[in-house]
Amino acid sequence: MDRSGCGLSFCHNDSGCLCPLNIAIAKVNFAVHCNDMPVLVETQPASYTPFLTEKAVSGTGSLTIDVVLNTKEFPSTETLTEIFEDCGSWAMFMDGDDHYLVVNPSLPGGPECIVRFNPRFEKAVVYCGDMDIVEVAGEKMVRNPITYPVDQLLLMYMLAYREGALIHSSGVEFHGRGYMLSGRSGAGKSTISRKFALAGHEVLSDDRIIVRKIDGELRMFGTPWSGEAGIARNKDLPLHGIFFLHHGEENLIKEIPPTEAIERLMPVTSIPWYDKSMLTKVLTFCEEIVSACPAYDLFFRPDINVQETFKEFIPA
């Protein structure tokens, strides 16, 4: 991929054959390709750069979603059953076992795109609207649609069937082990991530972490959906603990039992509450996480070096 010059790139080899663009998040490959024209990658947020790969990630735990871009058809949703709409930004429909994710359904000219997939899928079809077709240097190209929120929603569904979940959390490294610092917006994930990074600890993400069970081990992965600190690394670590963030008058760590941990974990986990077939799977995996990993409440003052308290608490 050529990512220089005007900031635009596209998958197109020297022989004229169209090549798939690969986006790898938590060892899940989005193999994006179109049979009609090259796939154009506009300047993405910098957080996506580590996740754009020339080849699919392979090895233990790797998965692939074959993403086919269709520029010639655009299905109607009139006969489909709507199961959820998120304030006009996206909506989910069903037709039998097939799900239809409609992005920006309220646009005057029609939706931005429609993604058809089955939750057990290894393939997704993206129907691209007219606004996704652009011309660069006299050649028609199709924009890459696998970005927020499409990639996040597809992963939420795919991982639910494969022992995984997307969690509102930062992820930090201590002594080669991974710890999630979880909380809703405003809990302090970016603030505390900056402190750990400045203290020399690797931070995988300051806003969203994916947890997967691979070969019987829970691992946490960085994602491209960063927060205010802009931290997003395409790396993973074994998960050894969960800390739920709270602003407090002093730095304090308190262990909590699994029954309390699950109550705190569910509100910060991406769960399709509107889809009963998926709900049970995600909740079951959340229970597995808190059963396998110790959980704590972490109270901290933003103006004090909380990483020192954390360092004293976590054994070497």
Give pLDDT tens digits for 53-84.
888 999 999 999 999 999 999 999 999 999 99
Q: Which residues of 226-249 are buried (b: 16+ CB within 10 A; e: fewer)?
A: bbebebbbbebbebbbbbbbeeee
pLDDT in tens, 84-107: 999 889 999 999 989 999 999 988
Cα–Cα separations (whole angstroms), residue 253 to 187, 265, 284: 15, 17, 27
Q: What average pLDDT is seen over the chain? A: 88
Domain extents for the chain? 9-158, 163-313
Tokens standing for 133?
């077709």
* pLDDT in the model for residue 35: 85
CB 165 within 8 A of CB 102: no
Instruction: Give dist(CA 191, CA 301) in Å, integer.
Output: 10
Region 238-253 average pLDDT: 93
* pLDDT in the model for residue 244: 97
CB 163 within 8 A of CB 213: yes
Q: Which of 113-122, 184-193, 221-230 has the highest mean pLDDT?
A: 221-230
* pLDDT in the model for residue 20: 66
163-313 is a CATH 3.40.50.300 domain: yes
The pLDDT of residue 1 is above 50 = no
Handedness of CA 146, 149, 150, 155 (dihedral sign): positive
The pLDDT of residue 14 is above 60 = no
CB 150 within 8 A of CB 128: no
The pLDDT of residue 265 is above 70 = yes
Region 19-38 average pLDDT: 89
The pLDDT of residue 11 is above 70 = no
Bridge-based pairing state of the strands 236-247 and 217-222: antiparallel
* pLDDT in the model for residue 132: 87
Q: Is the pTM of this model over 0.75?
A: yes
